[in-house]
A and B are shown apart, each in its own frame.
Chain A
Amino acid sequence: MQFCHAVFLAHFVYLNVLLCAFTVPENRVTLPLQIKNLIIDTQERTPMNPNAFLQISHVSKTFPGVKALQDISLEINRGEIHALIGENGAGKSTLIKILSGVYQPDPGAEISIDGKRCSQITPLLALKKGIVVIYQDFSLFPNESVAENIAITTDIEKGTKFLSWKKIRSTAKAALDRLGVELDLDAPLGTLSVAKQQLVAIARALTFDAKLLIMDEPTSALSKSEVELLFRIMRTLRESGISILFISHKLDEVMAISDRFSILRDGKYLGTFGGDELDNDILISLMVGRKIEYTIYQKHNRANAGKVLELKDFNKAGNFKNISFHLNKGEILGITGLVGAGRTEILKAIYGINHQDTGQLFLDGRKITITSAEDAVRHGIAYMPENRLSEGLVLRKTMADNITVTVVDRLKTKSKLIDRTKQKELVDKWIHELNIKPPYPDMSASKLSGGNQQRVVLAKWLAVNPKVLLVDEPTNGIDIGAKAEIHKLLRDLAESGISIILVSSELSEILAIADRILVMRRGKIAGEFDGATATQEEIMNKAILGVKQPVTA
């Protein structure tokens, strides 16, 4: 019974939990021994593996402030289905973009396609070598017919000056035949189901003479039977010698279809596993055998400190249902759950940028209405968004400007102008207090490291002296040392009386710093735990199954 349950879990558990199993101090990866043996060591492979279609090593990619990829190695054989897994922000998309020539890697990368070293991959070269990416949105033309979508680009590529409809149809038909599917060639693409549009995208890739098909989350919008059809087609393609790089969050699918899989985490390569070697026992050991990475802070029961914020029966169609909870003064309330469980939506509803259909909000016992971020800030509610680069920081502006933006109205002189002395004092104070490095107020925010960018976002909110701080995935995509420092900052803020709601996918993070934990599942609150005593397994159970049943290994 327990075993069955574990299998069930293994199939649905989201990737983060698996990834937590690895402790990753900097670049070195320590794994449990039995797992180590499963890794096909990329360092020692023969450089000219005749079976490899694509070999990359030492691939790194640095964006201003973020190391998106660090020293990635990967080998994809001819005719294999290779899964690439990793949580959001692990670097999967960046890697795909490098393989398809959209991004150039940092100097030092070595890439061979078909046994030949390539000094540089351009989008055109990638296509010529047969590397075709099918993105989540397919990049097709919804108003054009199926046949045109499949065949028109290749026809134009071949330099045909006049389009021959007959030829377009026959090319399209041939590609669909290879997949073993039949579709109405004249139907406008937009009238087809998502699954069929995907088939069109695959057929289109075949017309480019694809050797490596990269599929980004191909199953995310498919029903179970559609997934099976897709898998059947993927196997057909494999038999014809085409390699498939399959990106997915869903471990059960990865297990079902992949010959091998490679794991990325925080932009680092953790290893390549042989799919058939990885059985459920090992998955369980990956899940429960994790080591704690973070300092576990002393938790407090703040029930007596009084409710600062209370939500009563928040509902929003398609977002969340019957959400009621409260936040005590000076506590960190952790909210976790799977991606898409409605956590961010709730935070945004409180902050006034995702209006709930129904529901009442109370601040210090008084009913308040918040319809904009401006309202929220006026009530002392601050929000650190999930994506600091697009929602948290004005990257082109200086650190000083970014810290000032929330409080500029409070820095007025008598003549209603900005008091520059006050502004400088404020900025210097927060740079010093949050230890932002380098401490140059005039430095553009884009040039800071991820951890320091996050501190600037924190600084701009602490400057308003908030009562309630809503924090969404604060340590997403920043390195482990900086994560620990953000944890300490949040803990210190809670001790100083600020009440914090922390949304995080990372269970170990929630367990490290949250006093109380809410678990959301499919838009509802599935359970509540005491941060001092909760375990990963209990929380996982709630997040995945919504049932109260402990799992032991």
Chain B
Amino acid sequence: MKSNTDKKTLARLQSKEAVLLFIFIGVFVLMSVLSPTTFLTWRNLQSMAFQLPELGIFAIAMMVVIVSGGMNLSITYTAALSSIIGGLVLSKMTAAGIGPGPTILAGIATFFVVGLACGALNGVIVADIGIAPMLATLGTSTLFEGICLNITKGGAISGFPDAFLWFGNATILGVPFPMIVFVVVVAAAYFLMERSPFGFKIYMIGCNPTVTSYSGVNVKKNLHRVYLFSALLCAIAGILMSSRYNSAKESYGSSYMMQSISAAVLGGTDISGGYGRIFGTVLAVMIIQVISSGLNILGVNRFIINVIMGGILILVLTINFISSGRKANAK
């Protein structure tokens, strides 16, 4: 019995997540040593905690879809479209002299409704029509971007009630509110994906939709749900972003698109579907945040930071590929 537990502990230590945890601790310690007076300060930690949640939420929105064997290239424009229409509601109601309470309530409801509508459209195209997810979401991404630009004519929507700014900027006991939202999102995603029957089915669908469907699982229904869940997370990220920027624009967050794929894959999510842990994705996001903030503090040129991040991603993927290849050969 004891040896069994030992084995399990060992297995856990060897898992991808354990490797990521060590890497995270490593880069954190490295940055702290290199720049103890700036990096390891309350102010810097707090600023990282403000930046991290947006990428973190997008990365989870991306990861859940990848696990299902799909891809969601429309995450940032889903967030942008819900921000712009939600922002429109916020600014028009404010301009009409309606109080901040009902305005914010209606505005946030709009964020969610628009986001979910985007997710439903992705779900229909992927699950019902059967177009490859990468193409389907490439299409909807362009569609959402187009709608955004038609509404804003390239400008930004602003004029939100002041109280709305609280979501992206407030702290509770020193902890940034976006961070609290992120923790809630992570917990919810963990229980939904890794502990609930829905998540179980998503992992099975990601591995083999035919077998899963032949096992009596309604693959379409579950795919619909996973795209809705992804879109819901995008709407949340949209709320945090437009609150932090005090405006809404189609280009906000568009750099998160590729970063979120990187984070999901760096976090051990199998790009072909069926495997990936929420915890791994979270660790990957934290690693990315620490490295980019740390290098920034060290005064490394922003463009060089990109080069370094790309190099790290390729390195980790190569290590993963080689070690999994060895495993396959050892069979």
Contacts and interface: CB of A to CB of B under 8 A. Distances in A.
B249 interface: no
B214 A385 contact: yes
Given A64-B331, A377-B216, A460-B215, A405 B204 contact: yes
A396 B207 contact: yes
Interface stretch (B148-156, B189-197, B311-319): B189-197
B212 A394 contact: yes
Interface in B267-281: 274-275
B226 to A, nearest CB: 16
Given A374-B217, A447-B331, A390 B197 contact: no
B201 interface: yes
A315 to B, nearest CB: 23
B218 interface: yes
Contacts of B207: 394-397
Interface string A452-478: 000000001000100000000000000
B198 to A, nearest CB: 9
Interface string B173-204: 00000000000000000010001110011011
A305 interface: no
A372 B196 CA distance: 23
Interface stretch (A40-48, A94-102, A325-333, A412-420): A412-420
Interface in A57-103: 64
Interface string A342-359: 000000000101000000
Given A376-B216, A397-B204, A392 B211 contact: yes
B323 interface: no
A: contact size bracket: 20 to 34
A401 interface: yes
A383 B211 CA distance: 11
A43 to B, nearest CB: 32
B213 interface: yes
A353 B212 CA distance: 13
Interface in A279-304: none
B127 to A, nearest CB: 13
A243 interface: no
- Among B215, B274, B275, the one with the most A-chain Cβ atoms within 10 Å of its Cβ is B215
Contacts of B191: 417
Contacts of A372: 218
A373 interface: yes
A469 to B, nearest CB: 13
A369 interface: no
A460 B274 CA distance: 19
Contacts of B211: 390-394, 405
B210 interface: yes
Interface residues of B, number: 22
Contacts of A406: 215-216
B208 interface: yes
A109 interface: no
A174 interface: no
Interface in A397-456: 397, 401, 404-406, 408-409, 411-412, 416-418, 447
Given A353-B214, A377-B216, A404-B200, A396 B331 contact: no
Nearest to A353: B214
Interface of B: 191, 195-197, 200-201, 203-204, 207-208, 210-218, 274-275, 331
Interface string A498-521: 000000000000000000000000
Contacts of B212: 394, 405
A401 B204 contact: yes
A391 B197 contact: no
Closest 4 pairs between A and B when the two form their complex, measured CB to CB: A377-B216, A408-B197, A417-B195, A394-B208
B196 A416 contact: yes
- Among B208, B210, B213, B214, the one with the most A-chain Cβ atoms within 10 Å of its Cβ is B214
A333 to B, nearest CB: 21
A383 B208 contact: no
Given A64-B331, A395-B208, A397-B274, A374 B216 contact: yes
Contacts of B200: 401, 404-405, 408, 418
B10 to A, nearest CB: 13
A411 B218 CA distance: 17
A376 B217 CA distance: 11
Contacts of B204: 394, 397, 401, 405
A447 to B, nearest CB: 7
A397 B275 CA distance: 9
A76 B217 CA distance: 49
Given A64-B331, A394-B208, A397-B207, A418 B196 contact: yes
A405 B196 contact: no
Given A64-B331, A394-B208, A408-B201, A417 B214 contact: no
B162 to A, nearest CB: 39
Nearest to B209: A394
A417 B191 CA distance: 8
A373 B214 contact: yes
B35 to A, nearest CB: 43
A391 B211 CA distance: 5
Contacts of B214: 351, 353, 373, 383, 385, 391-392
- Among A351, A397, A447, the one with the most B-chain Cβ atoms within 10 Å of its Cβ is A397
A376 B213 CA distance: 11
A405 B210 contact: no
Contacts of B210: 390-391
Nearest to A396: B207
Given A408-B200, A409-B197, 14 more contacts: A353-B213, A372-B218, A373-B215, A374-B218, A377-B215, A378-B216, A383-B214, A392-B211, A394-B274, A395-B207, A397-B207, A408-B197, A408-B201, A460-B215
Given A64-B331, A411-B197, A396 B215 contact: no
